[in-house]
Amino acid sequence: MRLEEKILKKFTQGKKTLGIAESCTGGLIGYRLTNVAGASAFFLLGIIAYDNAAKTKILGVPPALFKKYGAVSSTVAMAMAQGVRKILKTDYGLSVTGIAGPGGGSKAKPVGLVFIAISTRENTKVKKFLFKGTRLAIKKAAAHTALKMLAK
């Protein structure tokens, strides 16, 4: 069974819903989920919030978080996941923010740095990853890892 099919089964059997806020993955997670027939039973919303203003206006991420932590941070990933979950009151909110490259990295935040957060009504958890490879390889690795986290 493919990863997306496992997620479909888990969410539909549990009667749970999902909203996604993607930044560096540019819609790859939503793309993969919607390739499975029946995804509309649980996948209610996918937002590509690439710009910080979109993250603030649509997802409700406070501008002060960008100034203090930067867009690529655990704090912003958590706020994005919480924000997307609240829009349609989904059971789960998933977010991804990172630096896919080839530019934009620094010593403190290198290319390949990605934060993935999953939010529920009870709590929000975030994980930090450092992926290697081309821009597309980093995007694909981040999307796949986010789906693996959802499947658990």
- Predicted confidence at residue 148, as pLDDT, reads 98
pLDDT of residue 101: 96
Q: Which CATH number does 3-151 carry?
A: 3.90.950.20
What does the pLDDT profile of the chain (152 residues) look like in tens digits? 699 999 999 999 999 999 999 999 999 999 999 999 999 999 999 999 999 999 999 999 999 999 999 999 999 999 999 999 999 999 999 999 999 999 999 999 999 999 999 999 999 999 999 999 999 999 999 999 999 999 99
Q: Where are the domains of the chain?
A: 3-151
pLDDT for 89:
97
The pLDDT of residue 109: 97
Neighbours of 37 (CB within 10 A): 9
Q: What phi and psi, each to the nearest 5 degrees, are found at residue 103?
A: -100, -175
β-pair partners for 110: none
Our CA angle for 141, 18, 10, nearest 5°, is: 80
Residue type, 67: K
Q: Say what the pLDDT of residue 39 is.
A: 97
How far apart are alpha carbons 101 and 112 in whole angstroms? 7
Task: Provide the pLDDT for residue 31.
Answer: 98
For tokens 């867009």, name the residue. Answer: 71
* HEC string for the chain: CCHHHHHHHHHHHCCCCEEEEECCCCCHHHHHHHCCCCHHHCEEEEEECCCHHHHHHCCCCCHHHHHHHCCCCHHHHHHHHHHHHHHCCCCEEEEEEECCCCCCCCCCCCCCEEEEEEECCCCEEEEEEECCCCHHHHHHHHHHHHHHHHHC
**pTM score, whole prediction:** 0.97
